[in-house]
Amino acid sequence: MISKLNDIVINKTKTFRQDELVKAGGIFLAGSLSASILNYLYHVFMGRMLGPAEYGILGSLFAVIYLTTFAGNTFSRVVSKYSAEFKGKKQNAELKYLIKRGLFKVSIYGFILLMIYFLFIPSIAEFMNLENYSGLIIVGTIGYLSVLTSVVTGALNGLQKFVWQNSLGFVSAVLKFGLAVFLVYLGFGVNGALIGAGIGIITILIVGFFPLKDDLKSKIAEKINTKEIYFYAVPVLIAAILPLIMITFDQILVKHFFSSYDAGHYAAAGNIAKIIWFGSGFLISAMFPKIVSMKAQGKDASRILIKGLIYTSFFVLIGVGILFATPRLIVSIMYGAEYLDIVSFVGLFGLALGLFAINEILIMYNLAVEKYNFLWIVLAGVLLEFAGIISFHSSLSDIIKIILLSQAFIMIGMMIYNRKELFNGNGDK
């Protein structure tokens, strides 16, 4: 691996500024950083305006949103992959079919799942110790809209319209933050915070078609090979849901096992720790279409994997170091004195999500080169986390340690699984 890194760093004729991955990653860094700042301001203001107890309810409801929103990454990644392939082969008719047919099917199946979800709201509310159903109704609707939006963002990503993709994310974050603060200030509480987030998502869905209008002008294909797409979508769906469960369902379990007040503290710690994930994971979306394109051309994409791991690890180390060095200052600035109890474990939480960001790079690479056996490793990690939390939940710190252990298990397993790419190259062939 060392000789390979020397070849990358010393012998490449391209400069750092000419690196296409870095350029694309730079766009995502600027977009995700801007959106992340606003999203963090959203949680900071909500945490302060609502207080720990109500913020604990909002945090648990957001866990449900994340389950549906990031599950929508399945559709986004599938559409991204095939949009990139169709565009590269100049198959514009097939591209139009993919986007329109995908949006239609997702809207129908998503609506059916939404109705089923509504039927289970009473049981979900009881498990999460929620007194009313309104928040769960809102998050279900937001989840449905997010899945629809994923088709649009997937097309933008696959066509490498990164500026549009990130601009829409920024505008959505602005609306989410501004409207939530306004509605909570007016006294709408948790529901007001959720409605602001929903309006931000609707904006992406509506405006996102504008940069796609030229691609949708071509004559639509009568049919494309959907069997291949469905076959690819299944492992992508599993790969999207399993890691997501690991960093969202813990909040739901905390709301079940602990008080709303404790859940609020846990949500605050988790959102501070997510700075590491958001700040270091900006390369993921930029990597995927490039690896797909290289694989389609029969080229070795392992260099992109190694670069992604190096860059991501660099940002993880910086972020985790800051959290361990100044946890009290960060907690005080972001959430205030009411949340100082989380100072002792916020750094550990950041480390866990830093490992999660590294694992996401490995997962994305394997999906792009269509290697799926890694899913067994991720599944084992999920089961390890669930069993650990259910068996050992005497404190919030215990739960965070279990998450860290699970992420470390997955990272080691994935490194072994991708040892050929990391040490020899051409592992995707």
Residue 380: the pLDDT is 94
* pLDDT of 221 strictly over 80: no
End-to-end C-alpha distance for the chain, whole angstroms? 18
Supply the pLDDT for residue 230.
73
Q: Point out the least confidently predicted range of 31-35, 101-105, 125-129, 344-348.
A: 31-35
State which amino acid sits at residue 410: I
Compute the average pLDDT of residues 362-384.
88
- CA 170 to chain CA centroid, Å, is 15
Q: Which whole number is the average pLDDT over 107-121? A: 91
Lowest-confidence segment of 35-44, 52-61, 320-329, 404-413 by average pLDDT:
35-44
Nearest Cα to Cα of residue 192 among 144, 153, 135, 151:
135
- Measure the CA–CA gap between 289 and 310, rounded to whole angstroms: 19
Q: Return the ∠ at Cα 93 (arms to 87 and 97), rounded to 5°.
A: 100
With a pLDDT cut of 90, the percent of the chain lying above it is 20
Compute the distance between CA of residue 428 and CA of residue 106 in angstroms, rounded to an integer.
Answer: 31
Encoded tokens for 55:
């913020």
Question: Which whole number is the average pLDDT over 265-289?
Answer: 76
pLDDT digits (tens, 9 = 90+) for 329-361: 988 888 888 888 888 889 999 999 999 989 988
Judged against a pLDDT cut of 90, whether residue 410 lies above it is answered with yes
Region label for 92, one of left (φ > 0), alpha (ψ between -120 and 50) or beta (otherwise): alpha
pLDDT of 9 above 50:
no
Are the beta carbons of 177 and 42 closer than 8 angstroms? yes
Domain boundaries, the chain: 2-423
Measured between alpha carbons, how far is 109 from 45 in angstroms, rounded to an integer?
A: 35
**Residue 304 confidence (pLDDT):** 83
Residue 56: pLDDT over 90: no
Per-residue pLDDT, averaged over 376-400, amounts to 91
CB-based contact 293:87 (threshold 8 Å): no
Average pLDDT over residues 95-105: 79
Examine the pLDDT at 17 and tell me if it is beyond 50: no
CA distance 165 to 27: 10
CA distance 251 to 228: 36
Q: How far apart are CA 95 and CA 108, in angstroms?
A: 20
Can you list the alpha helix ranges (DSSP code H) found in 120-161?
121-127, 134-158
Tally helices (H) and strands (E) across the chain.
Answer: 17, 0
Rounded Cα gap, residues 123 and 251, in angstroms: 17
pLDDT tens digits, 140-191: 999 888 888 888 887 777 777 767 777 777 888 888 999 999 999 998 999 9
pTM for the model: 0.68
Amino acid at 101: R
Q: Which residue has the higher pLDDT, 222 or 186?
A: 186
Helix boundaries (H) for 218-336: 226-257, 260-280, 284-296, 302-325, 327-334
